[in-house]
């Protein structure tokens, strides 16, 4: 048996000193690899032929779908169980209940795929109608990162709604990593939702977004302030992100903040606008042009 | 023979209900995996020794280059054919024509590598001269995401120019995913182009960008409005993104919008500026400082 | 022996014409694959059980840590050697010195892990305290891209401090690619640092950041202007990025520029603010609200 590396004792001392940042000898967290694979399988079930499962033979594709369903059912069930067990740290005596609950949640998610597809079909149509560069719905599904991020969010949101810990956030972080679009799984978003380009978009946990809303890259729907309790700690769980009613459009790099901020239906928020108050329906909000300083040639030049 | 998963009938009904979001029993779309591999091979041909092909032996590297050329020729030809066949849905009777065209396009792209390298050499030089943190040209090629995104764009643009569907967008989306830089393959961009940091940059389909232009992270060159026809549908294909003449610099998070907006040569657009009108050559446009509200200690604090 | 592809001579001519963009028949650059693997191993050593090494058995995890230590020691030593040899182009006669130096740097980095963990423990705590959506410290380590980017930065910074070329930038670019957060390895950042969401954040080479600072997505800490020498070339190596003192908060998409700009302790910089001057301690800087133009329904509508 070989000896340990000479630095091992120093590391073990460090791990003992701050056990929060060590996750050994505990219930394992959900597997990152398994969750990534579940997300890819869900995309194949939602949009067969567009994602990982690209080459579908006429005679075998029903079998492929069936195989994926079986695989997700088993893998997702196991990961949900790991998430619950980890959350409750110890689950002795209630083991079977956990398994039953995990199986039920998985079954409901998969049985809900046709309903998810109805909503996602509206998202695809909204993307096609909203972007002059889109040539057809196939290009939207096949090439648009916004559609992929929204699809993954809608799956994660279903798990979030029924209280599954860790997994929803892991899923939306996979989408964030791939697309630069960061949607908290707790947000509520109506059908016909389109995010164009998308890099830098942040949608907070308690956002309420209506039907046929369109966002561009860099839009933040964030918190204005965090209520704190008497001892100065942040109070968690309150509505702190804005509400966007139906048919709202928010252009690139605009920032809309606050749980009491309501953007009325059919309102348009221009690029780079910083908004912390409610806006009436059908209103357009733009940056003032005179806020720019223009220097013509001849004056001393300066870079910013 | 095993039975199908019990949810298969419900899914098949859903797939039948919205066939736009299903891509089975059709001409296959280009393979994502193959296109990703083509992009990596092209980077190795453009900058040998910097990307995937890192360990080049003196005696064998010519053979490596030759092998990559042969591999790209075959794979790209096939993917172009898949893209064309899919676009025309059915191609019966014209099969050979499609193959000849795909082979010709592939051959032209590869034969154009020396020309692409001349342009990319100027891009590398511009990056080195434009960034005080760059220590040499090797670091720019090896470490700068902006250079990689621009190189992939230049390859995609060549395919876009000759009308190849799907593939150019797939390529620029691979770059977008990796770098956060979203350049539409239809944009026209002169040599000596440098994007520093780059996350969040969006360059629209009908942009015209001159020589030696420099952009920073978060810059949007976008559309101001979409012309619609009498029935309210967006009219596709018009010039709707700005023109940047030679030697323009645009700093972080500025937004320039509109197909008639022309930023004159040697103009400088400052950080966070929102610009929807043309700017004369040699002009500097900055945010006004007085647009800030400053609260000194003693007043009630507030977070935004 | 098979013949070369017919385009090989044209490519070789192109490679000869611009040798800057070719890296053949030279000391190899550090391996991208090896560096990516070193980064993953370092994350496992810093936060065991959270990253690649997820399933830790009680009886074997000490052995796993020991194995990783041994693997990193060997691989990192080799990559540092490649980086130094490449930097000095030729290293004949000093070969052993290079190996000794590489081994010493590697040993110091690994021996410094407990110290790094003390700092990262404060970063984790700051993230948990600063985000109402965070449910516990485990979620922060397991799911928050900001924490991962900061951890990789802290490792890269250690190598940057002792003058290792290429590798630190390769490491922070891996984090940039994954998280959209671009921190130059030369920046100096105190403990308790938290970046929320993070996409689009850019932190320049000569930034000085105090303790318990919090940044949101899209924040740029950048250069205002580049000093140039008499011949017009950029002077490299000067302080050109801002200083943020302790307990500063910078909200989404704010841009702070300039090497002489100092944001005083406990100051708050609001979303979308563009700041090029120093700010006193405890000050709040916000965008002026009247800089918006609001159009109520009835006026002609316009998109931006």
Say whether both A39 and A134 belong to one domain. yes
Of all residues in chain A, what percent carry a pLDDT higher than 70?
A: 88
Say whether both C265 and C211 belong to one domain. yes
Q: How confident is the model at residue A210 (pLDDT cuts 50, 70, 90)?
A: very high
- For chain C, the domain total comes to 2
Query: Is A184 part of a structural domain of the chain?
Result: no
Say whether both A123 and A239 belong to one domain. no
Query: Is A161 part of a structural domain of the chain?
Result: yes
Is residue C293 pLDDT above 70, yes or no? no
C13-31: string of b/e by CB count within 10 Å (b at 16+)?
ebbeebeebbbbebbebbb
Question: Do residue B137 and residue C20 have CB atoms under 8 angstroms apart?
Answer: yes
- Output the 3-class SS for chain B: CCCCCCCHHHHHHHHHHCHHHCCCCCCCCCCHHHHHHHHHHHHHHHCCCCCCCCCCCCCCHHHHHHHHHHHHHHHHHHHHHHHHHHHCCCCCCCHHHHHHHHHHHHHHHHHCHHHHHHHHHHHHHHHHHHCCCCCCHHHHHHHCHHHHHHHHHHHHHHHHHCCCCCHHHHHHHHHHHHHCCEECCCCEECCCCEEECCCCCEECCCCEECCCCEEECCCEEECCCCCECCCCCECCCCCCCCEECCCCEECCCCEEECCCCEECCCCEECCCCEECCCECCCCEEEECHHHEEEECECECCCCC
Q: What pLDDT is stored for residue B296 in this prediction?
A: 67
Query: Is A189 part of a structural domain of the chain?
Result: no
Q: What pLDDT is stored for residue C52 in this prediction?
A: 86
Q: What pLDDT is stored for residue A25 in this prediction?
A: 64
Beta bridge partners of B268: B249, B284
Q: What pLDDT is stored for residue A61 in this prediction?
A: 84
Contacts of B180 in chain A (CB under 8 A): 180, 199-200
Of A202, A255, A288, Cβ closest to residue C293 = A288
Say whether both C210 and C125 belong to one domain. no
Question: Do residue B200 and residue A218 have CB atoms under 8 angstroms apart?
Answer: yes
Is residue A303 pLDDT above 70, yes or no? no
Q: What pLDDT is stored for residue B93 in this prediction?
A: 47
Q: How far apart are CA C165 and CA C171, in angstroms?
A: 11
Where does residue A36 rank: exposed (0-12), middle (13-18), buried (19+ CB within 10 A)? middle
Sign of CA dihedral C154, C155, C159, C164: negative
Beta bridge partners of C214: C194, C249
> Which of the pair, C54 or A275, is modelled with greater confidence?
A275
Q: What pLDDT is stored for residue A227 in this prediction?
A: 66
Interface test with A, best of C112, C114, C191 (most A CBs within 10 A): C114
Q: What pLDDT is stored for residue B225 in this prediction?
A: 73
Q: Kind of pairing, strands C284-287 and B292-295? A: antiparallel
Query: Is A68 part of a structural domain of the chain?
Result: yes
The domain spanning residue B40 has which CATH number?
A: 1.10.3130.10
Question: Do residue B199 and residue C199 have CB atoms under 8 angstroms apart?
Answer: yes
Mean pLDDT of the region A205-211: 97
Q: What pLDDT is stored for residue B303 in this prediction?
A: 39
Intervals of chain B under pLDDT 50: 1, 90-91, 93-96, 290, 299-304
Range of the domain at A64: 24-167
Say whether both B141 and B47 belong to one domain. yes
Q: What pLDDT is stored for residue B227 in this prediction?
A: 66
Q: How far apart are CA B14 and CA B299, in angstroms?
A: 59
Q: How far apart are CA B175 and CA B182, in angstroms?
A: 7
Beta bridge partners of B297: B299
Say whether both B241 and B162 belong to one domain. no
| Residue C123: closest C-alpha in chain A | A21
Question: Do residue A197 and residue B199 have CB atoms under 8 angstroms apart?
Answer: no
Say whether both B37 and B131 belong to one domain. yes
Sheet containing C202-203, strands listed edge to edge, beginning at the edge strand earlier in sequence: C182-183, C202-203, C220-222, C255-257, C274-275
Tell me the per-residue pLDDT of B142-200, one tens digit each, with 9 for 90 and over. 999 999 999 999 999 999 999 999 999 999 999 999 999 999 999 999 999 999 999 99
Of C18, C165, C240, Cβ closest to residue B132 = C240
Q: What pLDDT is stored for residue A226 in this prediction?
A: 66
Is residue A64 pLDDT above 70, yes or no? yes
Question: Do residue A61 and residue B276 have CB atoms under 8 angstroms apart?
Answer: no
Query: Is A300 part of a structural domain of the chain?
Result: no
Q: How far apart are CA A301 and CA C232, in angstroms?
A: 14
Of all residues in chain C, what percent carry a pLDDT higher than 90?
A: 68
Query: Is C192 part of a structural domain of the chain?
Result: no
Is residue C15 pLDDT above 80, yes or no? yes
Where does residue C37 rank: exposed (0-12), middle (13-18), buried (19+ CB within 10 A)? middle
Chains that touch C (3 or more CB pairs under 8 A): A, B
> Which of the pair, B21 or A176, is modelled with greater confidence?
A176
Query: Is C123 part of a structural domain of the chain?
Result: yes
Other Cβ atoms less than 10 A from the Cβ of B291: the count is: 19
Q: What pLDDT is stored for residue B133 in this prediction?
A: 82
Question: Do residue A117 and residue B32 have CB atoms under 8 angstroms apart?
Answer: no
Measured between CA atoms, how close is C295 to chain B, in angstroms? 16
Tell me the per-residue pLDDT of A71-86, one tens digit each, with 9 for 90 and over. 999 999 999 999 988 8
Q: What pLDDT is stored for residue A300 in this prediction?
A: 45
Q: What pLDDT is stored for residue C298 in this prediction?
A: 55
Average pLDDT for chain C: 89
Say whether both B145 and B71 belong to one domain. yes
Q: What pLDDT is stored for residue A290 in this prediction?
A: 47
Say whether both C219 and C116 belong to one domain. no
Query: What is the pTM for the complete model shown?
Result: 0.93
The domain spanning residue B204 has which CATH number?
A: 2.160.10.10
- Is the separation of the CB atoms in C219 and B271 below 8 Å? no
Q: How far apart are CA A63 and CA A68, in angstroms?
A: 9
Say whether both C279 and C204 belong to one domain. yes
C-alpha closest to that of B215 among B161, B152, B145: B145
Interface test with A, best of B2, B3, B13, B24 (most A CBs within 10 A): B24
- Sole residue written with tokens 């938290």: C194
Tell me the per-residue pLDDT of C181-207, one tens digit each, with 9 for 90 and over. 999 999 999 999 999 999 999 999 999
Contacts of B224 in chain C (CB under 8 A): 303-304
> Which of the pair, B231 or A43, is modelled with greater confidence?
A43
Query: Is C303 part of a structural domain of the chain?
Result: no
Of C11, C238, C288, Cβ closest to residue B114 = C11
Question: Do residue C49 and residue A236 have CB atoms under 8 angstroms apart?
Answer: no
- Is the separation of the CB atoms in B69 and B45 below 8 Å? yes
Q: What pLDDT is stored for residue A3 in this prediction?
A: 83
Tell me the per-residue pLDDT of B226-240, one tens digit each, with 9 for 90 and over. 666 777 676 667 899
List the structure tokens of B170: 């797939």
Contacts of B143 in chain C (CB under 8 A): 166, 169-170, 173
What ipTM was predicted for this assembly? 0.90
Q: How far apart are CA A33 and CA A42, in angstroms?
A: 14
| Residue C183: closest C-alpha in chain B | B197
Q: What pLDDT is stored for residue C59 in this prediction?
A: 75
Measured between CA atoms, how close is A88 to chain B, in angstroms? 31
Angle at A201 between CA C136 and CA B189, to 5 degrees: 140
Say whether both B152 and B224 belong to one domain. no
Q: How confident is the model at residue C284 (pLDDT cuts 50, 70, 90)?
A: very high
Is residue C90 pLDDT above 50, yes or no? no
- Among A219-233, A269-283, C165-179, C234-248, the least confident range: A219-233
Measured between CA atoms, how close is B272 to chain C, in angstroms? 7
Angle at A269 between CA A267 and CA A272, to 5 degrees: 175
Question: Do residue A29 and residue C46 have CB atoms under 8 angstroms apart?
Answer: no
Where does residue C67 rank: exposed (0-12), middle (13-18), buried (19+ CB within 10 A)? middle
Say whether both C163 and C204 belong to one domain. no
Q: How confident is the model at residue C227 (pLDDT cuts 50, 70, 90)?
A: low
């Amino acid at each position: 048996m070989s000896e340990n590396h000479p630095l091992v004792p120093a590391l073990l001392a460090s791990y003992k000193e701050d056990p929060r940042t060590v996750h050994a000898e505990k219930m394992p967290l959900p597997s990152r690899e398994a969750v990534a694979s579940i997300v890819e399988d869900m995309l194949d079930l939602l949009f067969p032929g567009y994602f990982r499962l690209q080459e579908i033979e006429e005679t075998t594709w029903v079998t492929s779908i069936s195989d994926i369903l079986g695989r997700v059912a088993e893998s997702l069930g196991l990961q949900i169980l790991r998430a619950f067990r980890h959350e409750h740290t110890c689950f002795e005596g209630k083991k079977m209940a956990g398994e039953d609950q995990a199986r039920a949640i998985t079954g409901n998610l998969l049985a809900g795929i046709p309903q998810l597809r109805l909503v996602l079909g509206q998202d695809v149509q909204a993307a096609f109608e909203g972007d002059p560069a889109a040539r057809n719905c196939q290009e939207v599904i096949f090439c648009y990162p916004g559609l992929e991020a929204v699809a993954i969010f809608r799956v994660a949101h279903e798990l979030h709604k029924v209280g599954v810990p860790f997994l929803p956030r892991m899923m939306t972080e996979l989408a964030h990593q791939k697309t630069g679009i960061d949607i908290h799984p707790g947000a509520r978003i109506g059908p016909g939702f389109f995010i164009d380009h998308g890099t830098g978009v942040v949608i907070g946990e308690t956002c309420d977004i209506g039907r046929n809303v369109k966002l561009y890259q860099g839009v933040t729907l964030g918190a204005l302030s965090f209520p704190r309790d008497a001892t100065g700690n942040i109070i968690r769980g309150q509505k702190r992100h804005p509400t966007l009613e139906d048919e709202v459009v928010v252009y690139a790099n605009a920032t809309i903040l606050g749980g009491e901020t309501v953007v009325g239906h059919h309102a348009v928020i221009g690029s780079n606008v910083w908004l912390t108050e409610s806006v009436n329906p059908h209103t357009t909000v733009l940056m003032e042009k005179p806020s720019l300083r223009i220097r013509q040639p001849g004056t001393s030049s300066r870079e910013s």
